[in-house]
């Protein structure tokens, strides 16, 4: 698709195409930095076993509980246009520390690094993505978000595909043959650092103080102010934030249950790690192009013509159908179909829809509460969903497959909360 076609399809005013393309490649770089090390994260968790995932995710939740007040305090003290730079530089420093530690510490040290890295990656993935969207929702107005966020999300999907492809190429063609091979999969951290550095450079083009995109005079303030307690206060005082928080918890809870059930089915299907890896690679190959097609050609139409409310409400019904399919036909073909549908809908429609709602929140809510929701509460839902699917079913003497039926009421509740969320704010 050439420049003129993109401009025509998105109805882009003169002078905004440059910003849109920067946002596209900004998100491309962010997700490339994550997806290139995502296989490394998964490798670190291989030996833990399905039954230990709830414990690991609970530790992640604890880390999020500590990290969010720190983040909120930091953004209260610095200029808004420096937030992305500071946060990303912090994570780059983290990555370099992991790389050095892996290279210079012995086997005992590497064992600890592996565990810490798995936990850290789950924090990293949420913060870098959430901070990116903070920059976007502060730069674009609500009506622009409906038109552009699908296209911007496509940049992320392309970045995810690129990062995964780099990781796969390295693991099959380079690792074990190059001088960096002593670092093993951790060599991919170098690529992640480069990609995140490019994201920092691109982020400099999105100044939240630009008057063309400000909703009111309040938005021109450079420093947010407030305290680290602001996200907690917003959850209880602002109906829109409260509804979004509940939606985030329910969505991640049901999605985690769905994923745990899918893993159980795949484990029963095959005991060959290579076969399972090939299966999950096939999912990536299907999801990425379908998501890109949706983001380029369908998302903007859905959000503008059908509406954000329909997207949020539909998610619960789609998840319910997926859970019923797992419980009724627990075979690998079902997993392939359900996972692909859920991921395409999430990345292609639901994520842009949620970010559209974020654009109409107040300044404090955008910078603090949204990150808090995307990190701590999202991880809360994951932790609770994993405990429910694994430990909860074990206590009841049931298999994790039974969790599919148990999560159905919460999937229905998700649709109702989605409707309430759109009622609390005009989007």
pLDDT reported for residue 119: 85
Q: Give me the mean pLDDT over the 79-83 stretch.
A: 73
Tell me which residue of 82, 365, 87, 144 sits closest to 239, measured CA to CA.
Answer: 365
Look at residue 8 and give its three-state secondary structure. helix
Q: Which residue has the higher pLDDT, 43 or 152?
A: 152
pLDDT reported for residue 197: 96
Q: Give me the mean pLDDT over the 339-353 stretch.
A: 89
Q: Give me the mean pLDDT over the 51-79 stretch.
A: 77
Look at residue 223 and give its three-state secondary structure. strand
Indicate the angle between helix axes 107-139 and 38-45, nearest 10 degrees: 140
Q: Give me the mean pLDDT over the 50-71 stretch.
A: 79
Tell me which residue of 114, 115, 145 sits closest to 355, measured CA to CA.
Answer: 145
Question: What domains are there in the chain, each with its CATH number?
Answer: 16-207+221-424 (1.20.1250.20)
Residue 217 has pLDDT above 50, yes or no: no
CA angle 160, 163, 169 (to 5 degrees): 135
pLDDT reported for residue 178: 45
Q: What is the mean pLDDT of the chain?
A: 77
Residue 212 has pLDDT above 50, yes or no: no
**pLDDT band at residue 371 under the 50/70/90 scheme:** low
Q: Residue 137 has which token pair?
A: 């929702």
Q: Which residue has the higher pLDDT, 289 or 414?
A: 414
Residues 219-270: tens digit of each pLDDT: 444 555 454 455 556 566 667 777 888 888 999 999 999 988 888 888 788 7
- Residue 407 DSSP label: T
Residue 216 has pLDDT above 70, yes or no: no
Which residues have C-beta within 8 Å of that of residue 18, sequence separation ≥ 6?
none
Q: How many CA atoms lie within 13 A of 250 on its CB side?
A: 24
């Amino acid at each position: 698709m050439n420049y003129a076609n993109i401009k025509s399809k998105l109805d882009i005013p003169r002078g905004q195409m440059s910003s849109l393309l920067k946002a596209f490649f900004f998100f491309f770089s962010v997700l490339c930095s994550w997806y290139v090390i995502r296989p490394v994260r998964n490798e670190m968790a291989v030996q833990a076993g399905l039954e230990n995932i709830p414990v690991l995710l609970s530790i992640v939740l604890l880390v999020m509980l500590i990290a969010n007040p720190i983040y909120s305090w930091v953004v209260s003290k610095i200029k808004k246009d420096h937030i992305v730079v500071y946060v990303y530089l912090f994570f780059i420093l983290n990555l370099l520390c992991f790389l050095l530690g892996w290279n210079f510490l012995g086997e005992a040290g590497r064992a600890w690094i592996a565990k810490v890295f798995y936990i850290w990656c789950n924090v990293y993935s949420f913060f870098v993505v959430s901070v990116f969207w903070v920059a976007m929702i502060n730069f674009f107005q609500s009506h622009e978000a409906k038109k552009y966020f699908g296209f911007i999300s496509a940049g992320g999907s392309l970045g995810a595909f690129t990062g995964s492809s780099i990781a796969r190429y390295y693991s099959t063609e380079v690792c074990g043959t190059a001088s960096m091979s002593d670092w093993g999969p951790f060599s991919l951290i170098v690529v992640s650092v480069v990609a995140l550095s490019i994201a920092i450079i691109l982020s400099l083009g999105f100044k939240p103080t630009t008057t063309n995109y400000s909703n009111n005079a309040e938005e021109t303030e450079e420093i947010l102010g407030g305290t680290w307690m602001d996200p907690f206060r917003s959850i209880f005082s602002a109906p829109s934030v409260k509804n979004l928080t509940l939606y985030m918890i329910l969505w991640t809870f049901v999605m985690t249950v769905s994923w745990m059930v899918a893993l159980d089915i795949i484990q029963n299907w095959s005991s060959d790690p290579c076969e399972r890896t090939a299966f999950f690679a096939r999912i990536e190959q299907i999801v990425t192009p379908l998501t890109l097609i949706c983001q380029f050609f369908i998302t903007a139409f859905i959000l503008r013509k059908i509406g954000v409310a329909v997207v949020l409400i539909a998610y619960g019904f789609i998840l319910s159908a997926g859970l019923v399919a797992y419980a009724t036909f627990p075979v690998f073909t079902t997993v392939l179909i359900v996972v692909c549908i859920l991921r395409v809908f999430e990345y292609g429609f639901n994520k842009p829809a949620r970010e559209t709602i974020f654009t109409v929140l107040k300044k404090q809510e955008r910078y603090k509460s949204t990150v808090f929701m995307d990190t701590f509460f999202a991880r809360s839902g994951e932790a609770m969903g994993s405990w429910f699917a694994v430990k909860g079913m074990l206590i009841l003497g049931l298999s994790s497959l039974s969790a599919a039926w148990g999560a159905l009421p919460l999937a229905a509740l998700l649709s109702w909360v989605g409707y309430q969320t759109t009622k609390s704010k005009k989007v």
